[in-house]
Structure 1
Amino acid sequence: MYSIIQQTEEDITTSKGIVATLTDTLLGWWEAFIVKLPNIAVAILVIILSFILARVFKNVLLRILRKHMENRSMRRILAKMLYACIVLIGFFLALGILNLDKALTSILAGAGVVALAIGLALQGTLSNTFSGVMLSFLPRIRIGDFVETNEHAGFVHEISLRNLVLRQPDNKYVIMPNSKFIEEPFVNYSLDTRGRVSVYCGIAYGSDLHAVKKLVLEQIEAAFPPTQGERIEFYYTEFADSSINFMVRFWIDYTKKSQMYTAQDKAILLINDLFNKHGIEIPFPIRTLKMPDLKHKPNDL
């Protein structure tokens, strides 16, 4: 009986000790909260200000990007990235104000490890992302430009963080990674409004070469008048098997390939009509085949 009573008293004493420890801990936390209350208020104020500043700078960046970048989706993504960076800076400043240096160090270390792991896992994706940002700021390529790569040609329809989309003249879309596009050479037909077009033809041997050159130059210059600093060029290029070939080059308003095809079509029709009018022959290759005599020769008997 005595042992039972003694055990009960020990339990009561232990319970009182636990309650006292818990009470002291809660009082310590409350005192720490009261002491750090100004810091907590300042930290909350810093976080609120970071959200306000993030929104202000986001709107400012959007206004600037609208003047220099036509890609709407890229503008929004860059603005959101700036917004997130400013908010994170405010969060880290708030942790510093609360003297949570250890927590801040742990968060930064964890973020570094996570960033490294993500960077290694998404190396190709990040390459396309940075290439997309570069393409958005490059002055030599814009939405709507007609460009030609080693394999594809079309109008730039969209530049995202991962892909560049080309709309081909047949209205088919080509989607290629940004990194592949930016690493390969490409031709942008829309950088300048003027371009030079070449047309090739041949005339028969025996034609008056000087007269042909004069007639073609006059006809092309009348149809495609050059501007300042431009000229129509005519060159005989070779003595071919059945013709004397020449090349004529002239300038046109040229920002996409369809304009080049239209100009070549017009020039070929003009040259053909001109040669028909003046009796100038455009020869075509002739091949003469000699067949052996198949008649049976008399036997020498």
Structure 2
Amino acid sequence: MKSQLTEAYNLLIEKLEGWFNLIITNIPNLVLAILVLATSYFVAKYVNKYVSKLVAKRVQENSITNMIGRLSAVVVVLAGLFLALGILNLGKTLTSLLAGAGVAGLAIGLALQGTLSNTFAGIVLSFRKKIQIGHWVETNGFSGEVMDINLKDFTLKEADNNMVVIPNKLILENPLKNYTLTTRMRIFLECGVGYESDLDLVEKLTKETICNTFDQIESPDDVEFYYTEFGGSSINYLCRFWIDAENALEKLRAKSKAIIEVKKAYDKEDINIPFPIRTLQFDNKLDFEMPEMDNKQFSNN
């Protein structure tokens, strides 16, 4: 029994001496690893601030700016950690960490597939110059002003003041019409005049009225006018012209103004804008009186 205790004691002392010698031998590497970790921590802080300022110049959303800054800081810290493990000759530990990180990343990615897709889509949308807060856009069946682009969703305010929240993934995968990217919009005005109207006068009057209504139209020749068909009660035409506008609301206002002014001009020149009339004619007499029944037949019943 004594010999076994002595042997165990000697093994313990030998093990402790080995560890002590190992620590003494690796003190320079340990100090260097600690310095690397500390340096990476402080560098990560400056990288976070610098990247956040750099991203803020192109992205208006604070949530996305902060997230990108923090991600850059995490990358710096992880790089310092891997470098420190390499200095300590812990290659196997480093390999295990990388393998574990890969498996964990795969599991998290599968579990949060929808959330991550919206997050990355939000980052991509934030860096697109053609989609900015304040633009008037139309997408996924909705039209309105872009109010917010964050890591989860895309917020629109429609013309009726309703807020529409759309997942970022749908914005990135579907077509988007941006009215703000151009300062000009084309107005389509369709109408009809009576068959007795002077068609040359109608065309001239319509062009002049549109030209005088909108300052951006320099000449009546800039207004397009085409007769399109002989309708059931009128000769119909299509009038097209360009205006300076950046959203659909300005386009609606311009079309409404054009309709008002054209109607006034037609009234002054006694130009008729006909509308369908339905005439109901009752020229047949309906007999609502019941025929007299034979008394004999009545008695038999």
TM range (shorter): 0.7 to 0.9
Task: Provide the secondary structure at the position in 2 that maps to 1:138.
Answer: coil
C-alpha change, 1:292 and 1:26, in structure 2 (3 Å) is: farther
Identity %: 43
Contact 1:71 1:143 in 2 (8 A): no
Match of 1:275 in 2: 266
TM-score normalised according to structure 2 size: 0.88
Aligned equivalents of 1:294 and 1:228: distance in 2? Answer: 63
C-alpha change, 1:111 and 1:150, in structure 2 (3 Å) is: closer
Contact 1:242 1:283 in 2 (8 A): yes
Deviation at 1:145, TM superposition (A): 1.1
C-alpha change, 1:228 and 1:74, in structure 2 (3 Å) is: farther
Letter in 2 for 1:186: L
Moved more, 73-82 or 122-131: 122-131
C-alpha change, 1:44 and 1:294, in structure 2 (3 Å) is: same
Q: How many equivalent pairs are there?
A: 286
Aligned equivalents of 1:175 and 1:292: distance in 2? Answer: 61
The 5-angstrom pairing of residues 1-301 of structure 1 reads 10=1, 12-226=2-216, 231-294=222-285
Aligned equivalents of 1:228 and 1:92: distance in 2? Answer: 69
- Post-superposition Cα deviations, 1:54-91, rounded to whole Å, max 9, x if no partner, equal 22222222222222222221111111111111111111
Letter in 1 for 2:55: L
C-alpha change, 1:27 and 1:267, in structure 2 (3 Å) is: same
Aligned equivalents of 1:153 and 1:256: distance in 2? Answer: 10
Match of 2:294 in 1: none
Match of 2:298 in 1: none
Contact 2:187 2:243 in 1 (8 A): yes
- Post-superposition Cα deviations, 1:17-41, rounded to whole Å, max 9, x if no partner, equal 3333333222222211111111111
Task: Provide the secondary structure at the position in 1 that maps to 2:148.
Answer: strand
Moved more, 212-221 or 121-130: 121-130
Q: In angstroms, what is the RMSD of aligned CA positions?
A: 2.1
Deviation at 1:295, TM superposition (A): 5.6
Aligned equivalents of 2:81 and 2:286: distance in 1? Answer: 105
Task: Provide the secondary structure at the position in 1 that maps to 2:147.
Answer: strand
Task: Provide the secondary structure at the position in 2 that maps to 1:59.
Answer: helix
Aligned equivalents of 1:103 and 1:223: distance in 2? Answer: 77
Aligned equivalents of 2:283 and 2:268: distance in 1? Answer: 42
Contact 2:37 2:84 in 1 (8 A): yes
Contact 1:143 1:157 in 2 (8 A): yes
C-alpha change, 1:228 and 1:178, in structure 2 (3 Å) is: farther
Match of 1:4 in 2: none
TM-score normalised according to structure 1 size: 0.88
Aligned equivalents of 1:79 and 1:277: distance in 2? Answer: 67
C-alpha change, 1:125 and 1:295, in structure 2 (3 Å) is: closer
Aligned equivalents of 1:30 and 1:240: distance in 2? Answer: 103
Aligned equivalents of 1:37 and 1:227: distance in 2? Answer: 82
Task: Provide the secondary structure at the position in 1 that maps to 2:222.
Answer: coil
Task: Provide the secondary structure at the position in 1 that maps to 2:240.
Answer: strand
Contact 2:211 2:218 in 1 (8 A): no
Letter in 1 for 2:188: S
Contact 1:145 1:190 in 2 (8 A): yes
Contact 2:140 2:171 in 1 (8 A): no
Letter in 2 for 1:82: S
- Post-superposition Cα deviations, 1:98-120, rounded to whole Å, max 9, x if no partner, equal 11001011111111111111222
Contact 1:233 1:250 in 2 (8 A): yes
Deviation at 1:200, TM superposition (A): 1.8
Deviation at 1:231, TM superposition (A): 2.8
Letter in 2 for 1:79: G
